[in-house]
């Protein structure tokens, strides 16, 4: 795995997991692919670099 790839573990209520699994089964896509697409569709702040820097200052 590349150094630039991070792993995310999430907890979902059963109903949300079932919904995701049904969507993936119907679309032929993986859960990772669907979640990745949703993250990419989030509205970007004015500058991604600024957003990352602000996040790092918070943690």
Q: What is the pTM of this model?
A: 0.66
Per the domain annotation, does 21 fall within a domain?
Answer: yes
Helix pair 31-40, 14-27: axis angle to 10 deg: 100
Per the domain annotation, does 9 fall within a domain?
Answer: no
Per the domain annotation, does 24 fall within a domain?
Answer: yes
Q: How many domains does the chain have?
A: 1
Question: Is pLDDT above 70 for 46?
Answer: no
Closest CA to 34 of 21, 43, 45, 50: 21
Per the domain annotation, does 46 fall within a domain?
Answer: yes
The domain of 54 spans: 14-58
Per the domain annotation, does 36 fall within a domain?
Answer: yes
pLDDT tens-place string over residues 3-45:
888 999 999 999 999 999 999 999 999 999 999 999 888 876 5
11 CB burial (10 A radius; 0-12, 13-18, 19+): exposed
Per the domain annotation, does 3 fall within a domain?
Answer: no
């Amino acid at each position: 795995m590349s150094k630039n790839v991070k792993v995310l573990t999430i907890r979902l209520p059963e109903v949300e997991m079932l919904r995701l699994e049904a969507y993936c089964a119907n679309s032929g896509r993986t859960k990772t692919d669907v979640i990745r697409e949703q993250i990419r569709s989030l509205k970007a702040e004015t500058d991604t670099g600024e957003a990352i820097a602000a996040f790092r200052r918070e943690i």
